[in-house]
Amino acid sequence: MDLAFIALHGKGGEDGSIQGFLETLKIKYTGSGILASVIGMDKEITKTILTANKIKTPNFSIINKESNIKKNLTFPSILKPINEGSSN
- State residue 16's pLDDT score: 92
* Contacting residues for 45 by C-beta, under 8 A, at least 6 apart: 38, 39
Q: Supply the Cα-derived Rg of the chain in whole angstroms.
A: 16
- State residue 29's pLDDT score: 96
For the question of whether the overall pTM of this predicted structure is more than 0.85, the answer is: no
pLDDT in tens, the chain (88 residues): 899 999 988 787 888 999 999 999 999 999 999 999 999 889 899 999 999 999 999 888 887 776 667 776 778 888 888 887 665 5
Is residue 17 a contact partner of residue 11, using CB atoms and an 8 Å limit?
Answer: yes
DSSP tally for the chain: helices H, then strands E: 4, 2
Q: In whole angstroms, what is the distance from residue 18 CA to residue 24 CA?
A: 10
